[in-house]
Amino acid sequence: MGTKVGFIGLGTMGMPMAKNLLNAGYEMVVYDINQEAVKEMVALGSTEVKTPRETAETCEFVMTMLPEVPHNDKVYLGKDGLIEGAHEGLTLIDCSTTDSVSTIRMHDEVVKKGIRMIDAPVMGIQPNAEQGTLIMDVGGELDDIEACRGILETVGARVVHAGPIGSGKMLKLVNNLMQGTFLCMASEAIALVKSTGVDLEVFLELFKGNLVRNLEFGAFKIVGKNFDPLFKTSLMLKDMRLGLQTAALHGASTPLAAVAKDMLQMTANHGMADLDCTSVYRMYEKKTNS
């Protein structure tokens, strides 16, 4: 291909992403404070540079995968950083999971130098990075994203345009908030099942078939603001009370379920007991807009 791509951040996710780009025929230029990772990429045919600035100076595209906001700030805006290697036609692709505010701030400094930048945090885990099946959740100008599409589609199986710069980071954090909450919810449920003596394998089989269907159904009703009752708030609230009583009887800890019950009770108290239980969304909407 002849296109030079710089890669900064050869960690758990970054290394397999960089290898996939190399294997796809891109000329790879790499920088990392971990010399062992750099040596591995050099042995495969990449070129090493000593600073982020050199990476920018020698490449058309630079992709970063860094741990925290301070690392991003240093690599992009610090001494010998990417911004100091600015040249016409350079595009920066920030794949780090950081917040949208710092990303927009960084972008505003970058574009002053005439550099293009998109944020493209990844959804997936290490095997997805190795297989090139990540979901690329991208924020930025559509023309800039199209210029990077070949790179993005090499490391990912799907490229989703989230919106303007920072939107990719925002959706990634929402996704991880939801995932973290779900993991705690699943932990509560499994611990409760084990405490009751019910067969865990039976529960997992039921859980597997029922969960996605319920989540998708609930989400579509909420987005459509269709709260015609298919399962009333009052009935869900009754079942939540019974479930919490069962948990207490068996000494199981269910703090997330307790919060959910309180939100449903609040929904009922606001006159929505006979609406669908998805009307609990209105309590979150009310808090967001208050």
- pLDDT, one tens digit per residue, over 58-99 is 999 999 999 999 999 999 999 999 999 999 999 999 999 999
Overall CATH class of domain 4-170: alpha beta
Q: For residues 74-95, b (16+ Cβ closer than 10 Å) or e, as one string?
A: ebbbbebbbbbbbeeebbbbbb
**At residue 100, what are phi and psi to the nearest 5 degrees?**
-70, -30
Determine the 3-state secondary structure of 167 from DSSP. Answer: helix
Overall CATH class of domain 198-289: mainly alpha
Please determine, for residue 206, whether its predicted confidence score (pLDDT) is greater than 90: no
47 forms beta bridges with: 29
Answer whether 21's CB lies under 8 Å from 59's CB: no
Please determine, for residue 218, whether its predicted confidence score (pLDDT) is greater than 80: yes
Answer whether 138's CB lies under 8 Å from 159's CB: yes
Report residue 132 as tokens: 């090139």
Give dist(CA 260, CA 236) in Å, integer: 10
Which of 29, 36, 78 lies closest to 58, judged by CA? Answer: 29
What single DSSP character describes residue 164?
A: S
Cβ count within 10 A of residue 234: 17
pLDDT tens for 139-162 read 999 999 999 999 999 999 999 999
CA distances to 198, 213, 214 from 210, rounded to whole Å, are 18, 5, 6
Predicted pLDDT of residue 150? 97
Total length of the chain: 290
Report residue 110 as tokens: 């970058």
Answer whether 40's CB lies under 8 Å from 61's CB: no
CA atoms within 13 A on the CB side of 287: 7
Q: Of 169, 172, 221, 261, which one is the catalytic site residue?
A: 172
Answer whether 192's CB lies under 8 Å from 246's CB: yes
Give dist(CA 135, CA 97) in Å, integer: 13
Amino acid identity for residue 268 in this structure: A
Under the banding of pLDDT at 50, 70 and 90, the label for residue 288 is low
Answer whether 135's CB lies under 8 Å from 124's CB: yes
Domain segments of the chain as ranges: 4-170, 198-289
Residue for token pair 């307790």: 258
8 forms beta bridges with: 31, 64
Q: Is 172 a catalytic residue?
A: yes
Whole-prediction pTM value? Answer: 0.89
Give dist(CA 147, CA 142) in Å, integer: 9
pLDDT tens for 7-66 read 999 999 999 999 999 999 999 999 999 999 999 999 999 999 999 999 999 999 999 999
